[in-house]
Amino acid sequence: MNRLNTRTLTHLDWLEADAIHILREVVGQCANPALLFSGGKDSVCLLRLAEKAFRPGPLPFPLLHIDTGHNYPEVIDFRDRRAAELDARLVVRSVEDSMARGSVVLKHPSESRNKHQSVTLLEAIEEFGFDACIGGARRDEEKSRAKERIMSFRDAFGGWDPKNQRPELWSLYNARVHQGENIRAFPISDWTELDVWQYIQREGLALPPIYFAHPRPVVRTKGLLRPVTPLTPALADDQVEEIRVRFRTVGDITCTAPVESEADSIDAILAETAVTTLSERGATRMDDQTSESSMEERKRAGYF
Amino acid sequence: MSSPHAFPQIDHGLLRFLTCGSVDDGKSTLIGRLLYDTKAILADTLSAIETSSQRRGLSEMDLSLLTDGLQAEREQGITIDVAYRYFSTGTRKYIIADAPGHEQYTRNMVTAASTANLAIILVDARKGMLTQTRRHSYLAHLVGIPHLVVAVNKMDLVDHDQGVFERIRDDYLYFAARLGIGEVRFIPISALHGDNIVARGARLDWYRGPTLLEMLETAPAAHTEVAENFRFPVQYVCRPRDSANPGLHDYRGFMGRLESGEIAVGDAVQALPSGRISRVKEIQIGGLGIPSAIHEQSVALLLEDEIDISRGDLLVKPDEAPEAVKTIDACVCWLSETPLSTARTYLLRHTTRKVKAKVGRIHHRLDVNRLEREPAEQLQMNDIAHLSLKLAQPIFPDAYADNRATGAFILIDESTNDTVGAGMIATVESV
Ligand SMILES: Nc1nc2c(ncn2[C@@H]2O[C@H](COP(=O)(O)OP(=O)(O)OP(=O)(O)O)[C@@H](O)[C@H]2O)c(=O)[nH]1
Ligand SMILES: [Mg+2]
């Protein structure tokens, strides 16, 4: 009964079909999932995949954003506009509220709120009783993410136990949890940064403007470009330069750096991505560089 | 596009492969080497590996740190769970799974093997075939990986001796024949020095076959070898009932993925278990119509008649319908630390369908070392056994040898919700 098939899917079509399959499994198996939507490029792809998976029906889950309060306003505007266009329910929970409740305590006022998103996320999961959170994390981003299952189990404390993950066979996903536990589902696990940009191009997806080259004052610090913003002002002996930059990933202002670039179109970004010598997080994330296992530690504590 | 050479113009799709074999045979180092030599490791990742190697007091860069990303793995210098890595050669995208060699983590190797289309089985030239080499080969064969490559590694430690390579090849061929493994290819390599991975090594000039990368480039992609029968497990039923849009009032889209075969508008389909027959009125992706769909596409099917279909049902073509079965004979890999109990009821997930299952009888367990069948009352973690299962409701499977997607199932322990067994259906008998 086997034969050689002449019609096959291109790699992008295959990745798309696979992600749609995963999204539908989450919805088929879980009672109350949410899709994490930050307005960043990976979650923009996720949202498009969700449309392809469920249209003409409504999206069968709300969008959830954990806001550190330190996001670029362009990204927040974009987030709200996209959610409205799609007629999706958008839930925003903010780290500042957790701080007010006392569940997040910063070591000092200028400490990055990035890792504290985990607390707010877990609070939101509990508040709404979400049994699954769909995220746009990719295995090629970081070495502990490279180890993650497509449907990854989190215990009642939101914890990930990388030494004892559920076996995950074929595409027979097991998203079963007991009350209080949850699943993190990653439909674009097997996509690379280049796949994401190729998909954005093919689908003609809109993005927040800071993904494209624009002038911005920055300070060169430890090989990264630290943006100068009211939150991250220049220090006394900083040399501020205004250069053309773009963001490869948009996250918390205090820990996300842009890269120098003239790329002001998707085509130009694709060309740069294909020949880049620096990884997405390596070129942009200040929070991954504090120790060899920063991401693994954050993920064990409930991070995306 | 401003950089036409950077992207594949001809897209040969995707190949998924894994590395497996015994502990310390060099699987992770091989992946590191493959990525390094295809220039798929970016500068900052490389310098992080260099720093980590130095911190660990190593004189050379340890390429296994590229995939051994967990703290516990780096501490012990072993792989615990599968790492996934990606590279692209301009014509093809590769998804690599680096599996652990330790017996304790066999279930993670099975995880990696279940989706792979090619396996690279490493053998340490100094040690020859070990129990784990046999176990992983057996598992790779069992889960139906169509292409096996045996890479005899660490040739640098045996003076690049052709005789060593040939002895291991002959041992392996003898073992493969007993298992019924058909096609296997052999290659001598040094993962550490990069011989025969991407470039040929001068020290192995007696070897005239293709390099490892050439083997990967020419292996058929997964989706070129598939069963013909149309199999469409329904994942989700879309019923918008949007009051603002009366046009959608009667919309019913059956959403799922073609696990095999093809479908076109106008084709007759049969729904199982009901047996009702209808025709495909429309095929959609994201609400937009397409004339036909092929294997691995995720679509929504709209039918001409209103028939009752829900998640867990299967759409097929009427003349190719599989039988309903309530007893299955299967090969099962036990994955849990808690032994399999013949007294318990498990949850069995087959395609999108879930049913309760009880073990009828364990026919035999396989001793992977001697390749002999032995009687068993119980199954421990990593055991492979042939058994029969009784199901509370029927399923509609194919034999695993005919169809990897509709011949596979998992067993779930409802008390922990853990996935405890991986099953492959041997023969299909009707109810
Ligand atoms: N001399 C030599 N050493 C090698 C070669 N390949 C790997 N090694 C060494 O063998 C040791 C084990 O390599 P790994 O790549 O970690 O082995 P592994 O098969 O991934 O091990 P597990 O995943 O834990 O089963 C390391 O010290 C490597 O440097 C080779 O071709 N020649
Ligand atoms: Mg390893």
What is the phi/psi pair of residue A265, to 5°?
-145, 165
The answer on B419 and B305 residing in a single domain is: no
Q: Closest Cα partner for A182 from A167, A163, A160, A200?
A: A160
Report the residue from A166, A271, A296 with minimal CB separation from B70. A296
Report the residue from B92, B403, B410 with minimal CB separation from A174. B410
Over 50: is that where the pLDDT of B421 sits?
yes
Supply the pTM of this predicted model. Answer: 0.93
**Per-residue pLDDT reduced to its tens digit, B114-132:** 999 999 999 999 999 999 9
What is the phi/psi pair of residue B337, to 5°?
-70, -30
Any long-range contacts for B284-293 (C-beta under 8 Å, 24+ apart)? B284/B253, B285/A52, B286/A51, B286/A52, B286/A53, B286/A55, B287/A55, B287/A56, B289/B265, B291/B264, B291/B265, B292/B262, B292/B263, B292/B264, B292/B265, B293/B258, B293/B262, B293/B263, B293/B264
Of B296, B320, B344, the one marking the end of a domain is B320
The answer on B125 and B76 residing in a single domain is: yes
Q: Which of A184-188, A214-218, B87-91 has the lowest mean pLDDT?
A: B87-91
In this predicted structure, what is the pLDDT of residue B4?
33
Query: Pairing state of beta strands A63-67 and A90-94?
Result: parallel
* Mean pLDDT (chain B, rounded): 90
* B298/A16 Cβ within 8 A: yes
Report the alpha-carbon distance of residue B113 to residue A134 in Å, rounded: 25
CATH number at residue B283: 2.40.30.10
The answer on B168 and B315 residing in a single domain is: no
- Reported residue count of chain A is 304
Of B177, B195, B225, the one marking the end of a domain is B225
In this predicted structure, what is the pLDDT of residue B222?
61
Over 60: is that where the pLDDT of B142 sits?
yes
Task: List the residue whose alpha carbon is closest to atom 13 of ligand 1.
Answer: B26
Over 50: is that where the pLDDT of B5 sits?
no
Ligand nearest to the CA of B21: 1
* A24/B235 Cβ within 8 A: yes
Q: Is B192 in the pocket of ligand 1 (CB under 6 A)?
A: yes
* Ligand 1 pocket test target in B106, B122, B192, B197 with most atoms within 8 Å of CB: B192
Mind listing the domains of chain A with CATH numbers?
11-195+293-300 (3.40.50.620), 208-288 (no CATH)
From the alpha carbon of B64, which atom of ligand 1 is closest?
15
pLDDT band at A7 (very low <50, low <70, confident <90, very high): low
Mutate: best of B70, B243, B428, partner A, most A CBs <10 A: B70
Q: Which of A279-293, B180-194, B355-369 has the lowest mean pLDDT?
A: A279-293
Percent of chain B whose predicted confidence (pLDDT) is above 70: 95
The answer on B261 and B378 residing in a single domain is: no
Q: Is the peptide bond before B233 cis (omega within 30 degrees of 0)?
A: no
* A27/B352 Cβ within 8 A: no
Instruction: Give the total number of structural domains in chain B.
Output: 3
**Per-residue pLDDT reduced to its tens digit, A195-250:** 999 999 999 999 999 999 999 999 998 888 888 888 888 888 889 999 999 998 88
Tell me the chain A residues in contact with residue B409 when contact means C-beta distances shorter than 8 Å. Answer: 172
In this predicted structure, what is the pLDDT of residue B10?
47
Over 70: is that where the pLDDT of A299 sits?
yes
Q: Is B123 in the pocket of ligand 1 (CB under 6 A)?
A: no
The answer on B348 and B308 residing in a single domain is: no
The answer on B263 and B120 residing in a single domain is: no
B110 Cα–ligand 2 center, Å: 15
Report the alpha-carbon distance of residue B154 to residue A259 in Å, rounded: 41
ipTM topping 0.90? yes
From the alpha carbon of B99, which atom of ligand 1 is closest?
23
Tell me the chain B residues in contact with residue A16 when contact means C-beta distances shorter than 8 Å. Answer: 298
Task: List the residue whose alpha carbon is closest to atom 4 of ligand 1.
Answer: B192
pLDDT band at A102 (very low <50, low <70, confident <90, very high): confident
Q: Which of A189-198, A282-291, B318-327, B374-383 has the lowest mean pLDDT?
A: A282-291
Ligand nearest to the CA of B60: 1
B325 Cα–ligand 1 center, Å: 46
Report the residue from B48, B83, B311 with minimal CB separation from A147. B83
Task: List the residue whose alpha carbon is closest to atom 7 of ligand 1.
Answer: B26
Which residues line ion ligand 2, judged by CB < 5 Å? B 27-28, 79
B147 Cα–ligand 1 center, Å: 23
* More confident site: B20 or B248: B20
Residue in chain B closest to A169 (alpha carbons) equals B111
Contact B271, B315 (CB under 8 A): yes
The answer on B113 and B236 residing in a single domain is: no
What is the pLDDT averaged over residues B67-93?
Answer: 87
Report the residue from A51, A56, A171 with minimal CB separation from B240. A56
Of B204, B225, B246, the one marking the end of a domain is B225
Report the alpha-carbon distance of residue B78 to residue A89 in Å, rounded: 45
Q: Which of B81-85, B224-228, B312-316, B361-365 has the lowest mean pLDDT?
A: B224-228
- Reported residue count of chain B is 431
Over 70: is that where the pLDDT of B18 sits?
yes
The answer on B173 and B221 residing in a single domain is: yes
What is the residue range of B269's domain? 231-320
- The three-state DSSP-derived secondary structure of chain B is CCCCCCCCCCCCCEEEEEEEECCCCCHHHHHHHHHHHCCCCCHHHHHHHHHHHHHCCCCCCCHHHHCCCCHHHHHHCCCCCCEEEEEECCCCEEEEEECCCCHHHHHHHHHHHHCCCEEEEEEECCCCCCHHHHHHHHHHHHCCCCEEEEEEECHHHHCCCHHHHHHHHHHHHHHHHHHCCCCEEEEECECCCCECCCECCHHHCCCCCCCHHHHHHHCCCHHHEEECCCEEEEEEEECCCCCCCHHHCCCCEEEEECCECEEECCCEEEEECCCCEEEEEEEEECCEEECEEECCCEEEEEECCCCCCCCCCEEECHHHCCCCEEEEEEEEEECCCCCECCCCEEEEEECCEEEEEEEEEEEEEEECCCCEEECCCCECCCCEEEEEEEEEEEECCCCCCCCCCCCEEEEEECCCCEEEEEEEEEECCCC
**Per-residue pLDDT reduced to its tens digit, B326-340:** 999 999 999 999 999
Q: Is B24 in the pocket of ligand 1 (CB under 6 A)?
A: yes
* B419/A167 Cβ within 8 A: yes
Beta bridge partners of B298: B257
What is the pLDDT averaged over residues B252-264?
Answer: 96
What is the pLDDT averaged over residues B352-379?
Answer: 91
In this predicted structure, what is the pLDDT of residue A304?
75
Tell me the chain B residues in contact with residue A12 when contact means C-beta distances shorter than 8 Å. Answer: 11
Task: Round to the nearest angstrom and report the end-to-end CA distance of chain A.
Answer: 43
Residue A87 backbone class (left: φ over 0; alpha: ψ -120 to 50; beta: rest): left
Tell me the shortest Cα–Cα distance from A100 to chain B, in angstroms: 34
The answer on B133 and B64 residing in a single domain is: yes
The answer on B274 and B212 residing in a single domain is: no
For residue B80 the two structure tokens come to: 């615990």
- Residues with Cβ within 8 Å of residue A107, at least 6 apart in sequence: none
Distances (CA, A) of B216 to A2, A242, B34: 22, 47, 11
Q: Is B191 in the pocket of ligand 1 (CB under 6 A)?
A: yes
* B7/A165 Cβ within 8 A: no
Ligand nearest to the CA of B30: 1
Neighbours of B241 (CB within 10 A): 12
Over 50: is that where the pLDDT of A1 sits?
no
